[in-house]
Amino acid sequence: MQAKEPSFTIGIEEEYLLVDRETRDLIQQAPPDMLPECEKRLDNQVTPEFLQCQIEVGTQVCHTLQEARADLARLRTTVIEVAADYGIAVVAASTHPFSEWTLQRHTEKQRYQILARDMQGVARQLMISGMHVHVAIEDADLRIDLMNQVSYLLPHLLALSTSSPYWQGHDTGLKSYRLAVWDQMPRSGLPERFDSFAEFQRHIDALVNTGVIEDSTKIWWDIRPSARFPTLETRMTDICTTLDDGICVAAIYRCWLRMLYRLRKKNLRWRQYNNLMINENRWRAQRYGFDEGLIDFGRGVIVPSTELVDEILDWIREDAEYFGCVAETEHVREILKRGTSAHRQTRAFQTAKAAGADDREALVAVVDMLVHETAKGL
C-alpha cells in the first residue's frame, strides 16, 4: 500500500558557541541568569547544551523555508542580544579556532551528567556545534525507506556547510574537523540499513533492554528517525555562519526527500550504495569541502562540485517550485562562488598574518570575523 504523502514540514536546530568578548575565548561557565532570560524571551525554543559554552535553539514547525528563516533570525537575534548583556558574543561555527576542550565544563543536567559518566574523555572533547534539520515524514516505514536512500546526499550537504577548519589553535587541514571529533562517539556515522521501522525498533529495543542506552536519542547517526517527532533528522552538517547558507542546505535536503518520494510513487527509487562508498564522499567533504569534488558512483569518476550542484538542482527543481524555495536552493551557487565559513575563516587568518599578526592574533581575527558574520548574516 502506498504511504500517504508526507507533510514535509520542517524544523531547524542550531548550536551556538559562546565567546568572551574581551579574550575571544570560549566562556567556561555560563552566567546563571543568561539561559533563564533567553527562555523568558524564547520559551521552549532555547535549551542548554552539553558544555556550558554552548546554547541551542530550535525553530517552530514550519511550512515554508521563508518561515523557518524568519524564526531562526529571531532566535539568533534574541540570543545575541541577551548574551551581549553578559559580555558574551555568539558564534555560529562548528569549532572555536583556539579554545582548549580540557578547560570546558559540562552543564549540570542529569542527561549530560550521564553522558559525561558514560563517554568519559570522548564526551569531554565535544566542544563542537552543528545544525540539525528535521523534515516531517509521518509514515514510519516511509521514514526508514527514505533514510536508506537519502544517505547518498549527506556528504554533498556537508561539503556546502563546512565551518570547522581550526581546532585548539591549529589549522587541521580539514574543512570540517567537527566530524573528526564527533566520530569518536559510539553509534555515530552513517546509519544502518533497515527493511522497516519495526526492524529498526527491534534493534533499538535490544540496546535499551540490555541497558546500553536509555532510548533512541542515544543513536547519533548522521541521519536518524527522530525519537521525539515523526521526522527524519539529518545531523551531518556543520552549522553555517550565515543564515542564508544554512537555509540553502536545509532547502536542498527537504527537496531531495520529496524527490525520493516522487520516485517511490512511480515504483522507482534512488540506487542504494553501500556505506563503504558513501563514506569515501563523506571523507572527501570533511577533508576538502567542495574544493576537490565528490565521487559519482554511477560514472566511477570524481566530479567537480559545480557539476554536482547543477545535477542536484535539476533533480529537485520540481520540488523547489512546489515548496516555493527556488531562490533558497539556487543560493548554493553563491556558496560555491564565495566559499563556506571554513574558506572565509582561512582567508581571515591569512589576511591577518600577511598584515603582521602572529598566529594567536590571527586566530583572534578569525573569531572576530565569525562574531561579525553570525550577527550580520541574519
- Which distant-in-sequence residues (6+ apart) come within 8 Å of 321 by Cβ? none
Is the CB of residue 127 less than 8 Å from the CB of residue 53? yes
- Report yes or no on 125 lying in a domain: yes
Domain assignment of residue 4, yes or no: no
Q: In sequence order, what are the beta bridge partners of 134?
A: 11, 233
Q: Check pLDDT > 80 for residue 115.
A: no
Cell of 20: 568572551
CATH number of the domain residue 37 falls in:
3.30.590.20
Residue type for 151, please? S
Phi-psi region of 293 (alpha: psi -120 to 50; beta: other; left: phi over 0): left
| pLDDT (0 to 100) of residue 1 | 57
Domain assignment present for residue 5? The answer is: no
What is the domain count for the chain?
1
259, part of any domain: yes
Residue 1 lies in a domain: no
| Per-residue pLDDT tens over the stretch 294-313 | 999 989 999 999 999 999 99
Percent of the chain scored above 70 by pLDDT? 98
Please name the residues in contact with 36: beta carbons below 8 A apart, sequence gap of 6 or more.
none
The grid coordinates listed for 331 are 543560493
Q: Does any domain span residue 2?
A: no
Does a structural domain hold residue 3?
A: no
For residue range 326-357, list pLDDT tens digits in order. 999 999 999 999 999 999 999 999 999 999 99
Cell of 254: 527537504
Q: What is the pTM of this model?
A: 0.95
Question: Which range marks the domain in which residue 294 is found?
Answer: 10-376
* 30-84 pLDDT tens trace: 999 999 999 999 988 999 877 889 999 999 999 999 999 999 999 999 999 999 9
What local confidence, expressed as pLDDT, does residue 50 receive?
74
Of 191, 190, 216, the closest CA to residue 202 belongs to 216
Asked whether residue 371 is assigned to any structural domain, the reply reads yes
